Amino acid sequence: MLPPTARNLQCVCHVDQSQIQEFKEAFNMIDQNRDGFIDKEDLHDMLASLGKNPTDEYLEIMMNEKLNGTDPEDVIRNAFACFDEEGTGIIQEEYLRELLTTMGDRFTDEDVDELFREAPIDKKGNFNYVAFTRILKHEK
């Protein structure tokens, strides 16, 4: 995986400077050995810190994916799918709230409330992340 530079991030994502800075910080959190690349060990350690135990095969598949040509909707959906062990496209609202407020770059309860305000959540508390990624991509 290429190191994040302002040039390649802007070309791929069309994002502003503050978002580029956030991407750089996220990249640096994953790049544990600070060599400017995310290798298989870095990826394993990051997933392990999220409570996952990825197989070597899974890590190889992830390492072989190229950022170029990857649909942003797929990237977002796959990020949510890491926490959907049944593969249903649904994550329980309270479980997602717990993840967002306790892991990684933690959200505040107010941030999560704002996120959930427009999110497709049914009366049973099922967060439909497949529909949510479509909303994010198409802003509808």
Q: How far apart are CA 57 and CA 83, in angstroms?
A: 18
- Tens digits of per-residue pLDDT, 62-109? 887 765 556 778 888 888 888 898 899 999 999 999 999 998 778 899
- In a shared domain, residues 86 and 126: yes
Choosing from 67, 96, 114, the residue where a domain stops is: 67
Same domain flag for 76 and 140: yes
Judge if 104 and 118 occupy the same domain: yes
| Closest by Cα among 54, 53, 47, 61 to 104 | 47
Contact 119, 132 (CB under 8 A): yes
Q: What gap in Å lies between CA 35 and CA 124, rounded to an integer?
A: 45
Instruction: Provide the domain count of the chain.
Output: 2
Q: Indicate whether 114 and 127 sit together in one domain.
A: yes
State the average pLDDT over residues 10-23.
Answer: 60
Look at the alpha carbons of 40, 43, 49, 54 in this order and tell me if their dihedral is positive or negative. Answer: negative
Residue ending a domain, choose from 67, 83, 105: 67
105 shares its domain with 52? no
CATH of the domain at 122: 1.10.238.10
The range of the structural domain enclosing residue 125 comes to 71-140
Question: pLDDT tier at 11 (50, 70, 90 boundaries)?
Answer: very low
pLDDT tens profile 108-132: 999 999 989 889 999 999 999 999 9
Roughly how many angstroms between the first and final C-alpha of the chain, as a whole number? 32
Whole-number pLDDT of residue 8? 40
Same-domain check for residues 107 and 47? no
Looking at the fold, whether 12 and 76 belong to one and the same domain comes out as no
Pair of tokens at residue 78: 């796959």
Boundary of a domain, candidates 35, 67, 99: 67
Domain identity same for 63 and 76: no
Whether residue 78 sits in one domain with residue 56: no
pLDDT, residue 50, reads 86
Which residues, at least 6 apart from 104, have a Cβ–Cβ distance to it below 8 Å? 29, 50
β-bridge partners, 90: 128
Q: Could you tell me if 1 and 58 lie in one domain?
A: yes
